[in-house]
Amino acid sequence: MDLCNPEEQHSSKTMVKLSPPRKVNVTLLAQSRKMVYDVYCFMKKDAAKQNCIMTKNQIMARTSEATQISVSTIRRILQEAKTSDIFKTPGTVRKRTKPITDLAQSDKEIVKQC
């Protein structure tokens, strides 16, 4: 089936399955961030090759359509690429309870017994 040929599209009754929309609040891993950045760079080079004048926002919108990731996320990934050479998976910051270090010897024995 040729998707570019309209006669063939109307004659066959095959359905083209579209990918489902991305889930909200899903953390992109470093590999995915790199892929999004590579797609953005490709779109930017492609626009330059075709002598097409596209703004940064238009390129980000085109990248957003291609990767199904929001423009704001793409903007954050581009900002990360400017500041760092390596993409990192954002980790969760967990508060850690401070260990009790300044106890008297008798108190330490009581804590050990509990």
CA 112 to CA 81: how far, in whole Å? 49
80: exposed, middle or buried (C-beta count within 10 Å: 0-12, 13-18, 19+)? middle
Model pLDDT, residue 97: 83
Per domain, the residue ranges of the chain are 26-84
Closest CA to 33 of 91, 76, 93, 97: 76
pLDDT tens-digit readout, 26-45: 788 899 999 999 999 999 99
Model pLDDT, residue 26: 79
Report the predicted TM-score, pTM, of the whole model to 2 decimal places. Answer: 0.61
